A and B are shown apart, each in its own frame.
Chain A
Amino acid sequence: MTIGDHRITRRRALLAGGVLALAPWLPARADERDIANIPALAAFLAGRKPRWERMRLDLPGLADNGQAVPMKIVVDGPFAPGPYVKVIRLFSQRNPVPEMATFEFPVAVERVEVESRIRLAGTQRIVAVATMSDDALFAAGADVVVTIDACMDGT
């Protein structure tokens, strides 16, 4: 059969099926692979395992321009009473400076949302990690495709 320009051969279909069957045994979660793929993240975690829940990292799947990509981080409450978000760190897989930013919340706030615009040196994965007041860690990741301009701008 054909899909687009690619011919799905019977061999490939069987191979794909085989991979799917093995899925539970493969490190299928992109989240855990992030730690291996982003050394700065691994260094920060130092063996600790964050929980990949409760946190949302909103980034466009396709960036208009890598110079300014709108980003939103949300950590779901409730917080008080109990552990609250103290720090959120942002890590880049491909930027020359992988530790993109740190947002600190010395005083607990009920609504933990941070928006900014980030710079991406090409298509990559971004990971945000929240540190709670009891040192628990939550994390979320997102992929962004960054394309080059159609026409060069020499101005």
Chain B
Amino acid sequence: MLRVLAVVLACCAGGATAQERVLPLSELRSGVTFAGSNVRAMQADDLANAGMLWVERGEKLWNAAAESSGKSCTSCHGEAQKSMRGVAASYPKFDANAGAVLDIEARINDCRTRRQQASALARESEDLLALTAFVAYQSRGAHLAVSIDGPARAAFERGREFYFTRHGQMNIACTQCHDQNWGKRLLAETISQGHPTAFPAYRLEWQSLGSLQRRLRACLFGIRAEMPPPGAPELTELELYVAWRAQGLPIEAPGVRR
């Protein structure tokens, strides 16, 4: 009886299942389903997908020993195909050591500085993109499942608030395009539901692989809002919210987008 009560209370206390969703899980659609046929074809073919260049580079970096400590990622994690399998699906995640919610990029840098005695890599640098792409690639096909409980809760709430707040000169909130108007046309493009599963992604417009944070900043630029700098807590919090919002969608990284 007490156990039943505990479960009921846990549900009502604001666990993930009790959280209201604007987009029901059954209606979720990956961004790739809104893309043109050429973009879809490029993503589906690993030999044509330019993002794979970063995955390959990431594999080399994974095996490379840091000068100061002689440690590589392999030293602790062994083969990424085994140790990193499914890991990206739980990110962003609260890290007890760091005392904060970390996205994959921040987690990699945390490992580098804390464990490898190596320097942190700059956001959007070739090497950080490569390592992020390599790690995320090991979770391809895994279903997104992030935790918003306990210490992650506050960050999740801030991320959600950001998502529902109007920003910029255009005074638009993320929800207005991606919850209320997905599937509709904006000039020659179709508005997607705004899911993060393809990132880091090779965006044709960037002519490069780029992170989810870069894509979020690009959206903010598009509505003439001030962009938080790469790595800003607001961006990580928003990453956590959109990851929760996309629960169950499979990871496609490295994806291709226009």
Binding site for B on A (CB under 8 A): 60, 62-65, 67-70, 147-155
Contact = CB atoms under 8 A, between A and B. Distances in A.
Nearest to A154: B221
A150 B189 contact: yes
B227 A155 contact: yes
Contact of A155 (B35, B187, B188, B217): B217
Interface centre among A60, A62, A148, A152 (most CB of B within 10 A): A152
Where chain A touches its partner, the secondary structure class is loop
Contacts of B206: 153, 155
A152 to B, nearest CB: 6
Given A70-B41, A150-B186, 16 more contacts: A60-B36, A64-B35, A64-B38, A64-B39, A64-B204, A70-B38, A70-B42, A147-B187, A147-B188, A148-B187, A148-B188, A149-B187, A149-B205, A150-B187, A153-B222, A154-B221
B36 A64 contact: yes
B222 A60 contact: no
Contacts of A150: 186-189, 222
A151 B223 CA distance: 8
Where chain B touches its partner, the secondary structure class is mixed
Contact of A65 (B222, B227, B258): B258
Interface centre among B37, B38, B207 (most CB of A within 10 A): B38
A69 to B, nearest CB: 8
A148 B258 CA distance: 11
Contacts of A149: 187, 189, 205, 258
A153 B38 contact: no
Number of chain B interface residues as a range: 20 to 34
A152 B41 contact: no
B11 interface: no
A125 to B, nearest CB: 19
B93 interface: no
B41 A155 contact: no
25 contacts: A60-B37, A60-B38, A63-B38, A64-B35, A64-B36, A64-B38, A64-B204, A65-B204, A65-B205, A67-B204, A68-B204, A148-B187, A149-B187, A149-B189, A149-B205, A151-B221, A151-B222, A152-B221, A153-B206, A153-B218, A153-B222, A155-B206, A155-B210, A155-B217, A155-B218
A138 to B, nearest CB: 26
B214 interface: yes
Closest 4 CB pairs of A and B: A151-B222, A154-B221, A65-B204, A147-B188
